[in-house]
């Protein structure tokens, strides 16, 4: 079982990172991917990934942290990707995307998103896509990059939206959202596409599961996500674990 999206590098884990990963391994996790969000923290992401077996990472510019100097940020991202091109642990470009619930201008976000998709093509990397109130624009933009693959992080949305991503070869990242009763639309969407298009994730230390609100989320909770997903899809947990692990390896660890 693999947590495909976990910010294990965040300061919330500085005092007990080893113990957190040890517990996760004991619960059955065999891997984890740390997305990059800001240039200034790329070295931290890389350092954590290099400390542990089976932890991989991505590098990207999250829309939340874009500044007026975003073109310089893009240059630094390109430099970091070039420097990491021979690092087998660098397996993705992300976390990138569009978030239309924040103050950063949509036009700026879309320009930076497109330029990062071009970098993903240049470096032959799958992308990790953040979304909020932006599915239509993300789908429209991705259609211009038919050779790109990736995962839609923390997917929530309709069956139609889910199918649009799947048809483009994208996986859907499934985390704590599905543990809440209010997520009926997303649950129906997930059921419609099936486990062959899904990845497990926690987004730890954020995005807590139902019943754990107010607590730090941790990678071990991906096991609970798998249990809820298994019940939703009416299969056993071993099937969820095996298929999502295979999906992860196909997307991030298979050359080309």
> How far is it, in rounded angstroms, from Cα 198 to Cα 239?
12
Are the C-beta atoms of residues 8 and 35 closer than 8 Å to each other?
A: no
- The pairing of strands 2-3 and 171-174 is unpaired
Q: Is the dihedral of CA 102, 103, 107, 109 positive or negative?
A: negative
Q: Is 3 annotated as a binding residue?
A: no
Taking Cα atoms as reference points, which of 55, 54, 25, 14 lies closest to residue 223?
A: 25
Q: Would you state the structure tokens that stand for residue 208, as one six-digit string?
A: 């807590």
Taking Cα atoms as reference points, which of 126, 138, 108, 116 lies closest to residue 60?
A: 116
Chain centre to alpha carbon of residue 73: 21
Question: HSE (CB half, 13 Å, CA atoms) of 149?
Answer: 17
Q: Is 135 annotated as a binding residue?
A: no
Burial string for 52-75 (b: 16+ CB within 10 Å, else e) reads beebbbbbbbbbbebeeebeebbe
Q: Is 72 annotated as a binding residue?
A: no
> How far is it, in rounded angstroms, from Cα 112 to Cα 171?
22
Q: Is 53 annotated as a binding residue?
A: no
Q: Is 7 annotated as a binding residue?
A: yes
Taking Cα atoms as reference points, which of 156, 152, 182 lies closest to residue 247?
A: 152
Q: Is 15 annotated as a binding residue?
A: no
Residues at the annotated binding site for a divalent metal cation?
A: 5, 7, 95, 130, 153, 203
Residues at the annotated binding site?
A: 5, 7, 95, 130, 153, 203
């Amino acid at each position: 079982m693999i947590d495909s999206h976990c910010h294990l590098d965040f300061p919330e884990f500085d005092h007990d990172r080893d113990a957190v990963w040890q517990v996760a391994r004991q619960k059955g996790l065999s891997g984890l991917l740390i997305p990059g969000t800001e240039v200034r923290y790329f070295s931290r992401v890389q350092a954590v990934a290099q400390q542990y077996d089976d932890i991989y990472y991505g590098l990207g510019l999250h829309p939340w942290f874009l500044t007026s100097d975003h073109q310089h940020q893009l240059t630094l991202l390109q430099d970091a990707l070039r420097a990491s091109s021979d690092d087998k642990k660098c397996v993705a470009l992300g976390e990138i995307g569009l978030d239309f619930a924040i103050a950063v201008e949509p036009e700026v976000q879309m320009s930076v998103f497109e330029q990062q998709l071009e970098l993903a093509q240049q470096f032959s990397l799958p992308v990790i896509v953040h979304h909020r109130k932006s599915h239509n624009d993300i789908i429209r933009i991705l259609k211009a990059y038919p050779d790109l693959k990736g995962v839609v992080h923390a997917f929530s949305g309709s069956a139609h939206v889910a199918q649009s991503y799947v048809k483009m070869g994208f996986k859907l990242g499934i985390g704590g959202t599905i543990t809440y009763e209010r997520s009926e639309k997303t649950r129906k969407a997930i059921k419609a596409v099936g486990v062959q298009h899904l990845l497990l994730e926690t987004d730890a230390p954020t995005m807590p599961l139902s019943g754990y609100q107010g607590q730090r989320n941790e990678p071990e909770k991906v096991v609970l996500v798998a249990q809820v997903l298994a019940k939703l899809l009416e299969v056993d947990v071993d099937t969820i674990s095996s298929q999502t692990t295979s999906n992860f390896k196909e997307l991030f660890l298979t050359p080309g």
